[in-house]
Structure 1
Amino acid sequence: MGQIKPSSMWVSLVVILPLLWKGITCLAGYSIQVSPSVSVQEGLCVTIPCNFTADNRKTFSNSYGYWIRMPLHPGDIVATNDKSSDVKKPNFYLMGNPDSGDCTLTITDARREDEGKYFFRFAESKDIGVKYSYYREVTTAITVTDLTEEPVISDLGTVTAGIDKTVTCSPPGNCSATSLLIQWKKSDVSGIWKTSPTITFTPSLYDHQKTITCEMITSGGNTTKKTILLDVDYPCISTREHTNDSTKSLDSTFFIGIIIGMTIVIIVLLAIIIVGFCHFLKRRQKKRRLGKGSPDPRTQGTESTYEELKGQSKDIYSDLTK
């Protein structure tokens, strides 16, 4: 076996080194900026910002981006702008435009089975051009945690008795959450009141100061809720004013009743006093008449009888002496 001459070795290095340097430059021209770990609550959504460079470029034309689940399995694409590719997760969306080096990923209605590691792959075209998978640089681990966020209830505005009111309950962030169950409860209704994210009801005066509650329930049974107080107005007159007027009316009626009762008692007492006084005056006048020599009916009859007997006795004596 012949020895390699030093001159030949230097010639080979001169030829190979530029090629090696070109390869290193190409590898160095591929970078990605994305969070290595992301946490999202069950049923909610999260957007993961992502930017990349390929071949030292940030702009392309007619390019494709793919988010793929680890470990590497053919067809495990979860999000892409390539309409010809099947995706395994319809709640994953490639929101960024790969033509501008944007690989932003959005997950809606997060579920426990969405947990795992994912990486981004770029293809400048399907057949030719730059293609690169960034799992060597960064893989993004997604964790799905328990639901703790409260639902959001739309602004009720003015609630007027007798006028229909529509209200909506939704997950925070306006997430599209088909796996979450939305149901309503009302303080004066036992059990479930309504089972729809958007409801329409007709408030009444009896609903004033009542509460309505929206409950958001995950497939695993975890529940969060939001409660609001109903402040119901009456047409033209607010419920509070109406309530105050009613209270004032009741108070006036109460006091009027007391006054009438007291008046009746006073009248009765005065009548008793007057009758008693009149009776007293009659008795006094009678005593005065007797004191001035007026004949006493009780003695008048006795005196008359005595005089008559006296006269009769004289006549009888005269008759006997004759």
Structure 2
Amino acid sequence: MELKLWTLFYFLLLVFGIPEVQSADSQWFIDVPSKIPALQGSCVIIPCVYTYPKTKKILNRWKGFWKRGNTIVSTNLPKFKLNSEFKRRTRILGSLRGGSCTMQLSSVRSTDVGPFYFRIEIPQHKSFTFSENTVTIDVLRTPEPPTMSVEVLGKVVASCTVSHSCPTSPPRFYWSHSGIKKTSSKRLNKWMWTTVSTLTFVPLSSDFNQALNCTVMYRGKKTAQSSVVLFS
């Protein structure tokens, strides 16, 4: 019985051949988020990486185009003239040669919802349009209030935290009380960052039972505020 199964197996290989297994490097592939939130007036970075079928040819030119419908919204070609809607508002970050197709869109407008998609052209090799891998931007008209926390242990240590999509122009923080201020940012995921402002001061008796306010101003001048009351 076992011999018959092996005979059948080899017969199928002779008839149909050995199935070809393609690696990711031999195919067109792109990794982009399907939807990103962005604050109106601020900026948003669309993370993007891609691969293309490998070749033994020597390649030295890569042309990248982010598009919305038939409109080109961003390209790495310096002499290409974008239309007035996107002129001076977009740029492709990173290296197309290295597989990065990340795009930054500044001064986000209510009409910047997309969907956007990427096209790569390698003149000495091949071209491909990732029209099925679109990115939609959820344009927010107003920012979320920052998250605040406070500790009172001899000194007041208060923190004010926000998430945003514009790491090149992080939000600014304004406190209603003087003190030592420190600000730090870190990446939350592929398309969102978090920025924290920490305020430290020695409280006076008059500071207790009073509101401590944190106001955040984003690129585009939109603001949001939160407050906490200091208890002794």
TM-score by length of 2: 0.50
The answer to whether the Cα contact below 8 Å between 1:29 and 1:53 also exists between their aligned partners in 2 is yes
The answer to whether the Cα contact below 8 Å between 1:79 and 1:94 also exists between their aligned partners in 2 is yes
Correspondence for 2:163: 172
Mapped pair 1:150 → 2:145: yes
Q: What letter is aligned with 2:50? A: F
Q: Counterpart of 2:115 in 1: which secondary structure?
A: strand
Correspondence for 2:51: 53
Pair 46,152 (structure 1): closer, same or farther in 2 beyond 3 Å: farther
Work out which structure has the larger RCO, using CA pairs closer than 8 Å and 6 or more positions apart in sequence. 2
Instruction: After TM superposition, give the deviation of residue 118 of structure 1 in Å.
Output: 1.8
Q: What letter is aligned with 1:129? A: Q
The CA deviation string for residues 261-320 of structure 1, in whole angstroms up to 9 with x for no partner, is: xxxxxxxxxxxxxxxxxxxxxxxxxxxxxxxxxxxxxxxxxxxxxxxxxxxxxxxxxxxx
The CA deviation string for residues 213-260 of structure 1, in whole angstroms up to 9 with x for no partner, is: 2344789998643224457xxxxxxxx6xxxxxxxxxxxxxxxxxxxx
Q: 1:1-322 to 2 correspondence within 5 Å?
A: 29-35=27-33, 37-43=34-40, 46-54=44-52, 56-57=53-54, 62-73=60-71, 76-78=72-74, 80=76, 82-85=77-80, 88=86, 90=88, 92-107=90-105, 110-124=108-122, 128-130=123-125, 132-147=127-142, 149-151=144-146, 171-173=162-164, 175=166, 205=204, 206-216=206-216, 224-229=224-229
TM-score by length of 1: 0.39
Q: What CA distance in whole angstroms lies between the structure 1 residues aligned with 2:216 and 2:49?
A: 34
Larger % of strand: which? 2
Aligned residues: 183
Q: What letter is aligned with 1:213? A: N
The answer to whether the Cα contact below 8 Å between 1:152 and 1:172 also exists between their aligned partners in 2 is no
Percent identical: 21
The answer to whether the Cα contact below 8 Å between 1:42 and 1:145 also exists between their aligned partners in 2 is yes
The CA deviation string for residues 184-240 of structure 1, in whole angstroms up to 9 with x for no partner, is: 667xxxxxxxxxxx9x99876222343222344789998643224457xxxxxxxx6
Q: Counterpart of 2:225 in 1: which secondary structure?
A: strand
Q: Which segments of 5 or more consecutive residues in structure 1 lack a partner in the other structure?
A: 1-27, 187-197, 232-239, 241-322
Pair 67,184 (structure 1): closer, same or farther in 2 beyond 3 Å: farther
Pair 112,220 (structure 1): closer, same or farther in 2 beyond 3 Å: farther
Q: What CA distance in whole angstroms lies between the structure 2 residues aligned with 1:151 and 1:132?
A: 44
- Cα RMSD after superposing both structures: 5.0
Q: Which segments of 5 or more consecutive residues in structure 2 lack a partner in the other structure?
A: 1-25, 178-196
Correspondence for 2:190: none
The answer to whether the Cα contact below 8 Å between 1:51 and 1:101 also exists between their aligned partners in 2 is yes
The answer to whether the Cα contact below 8 Å between 1:69 and 1:78 also exists between their aligned partners in 2 is yes
Q: What CA distance in whole angstroms lies between the structure 2 residues aligned with 1:154 and 1:109?
A: 31
Pair 156,203 (structure 1): closer, same or farther in 2 beyond 3 Å: same
The answer to whether the Cα contact below 8 Å between 1:119 and 1:135 also exists between their aligned partners in 2 is yes
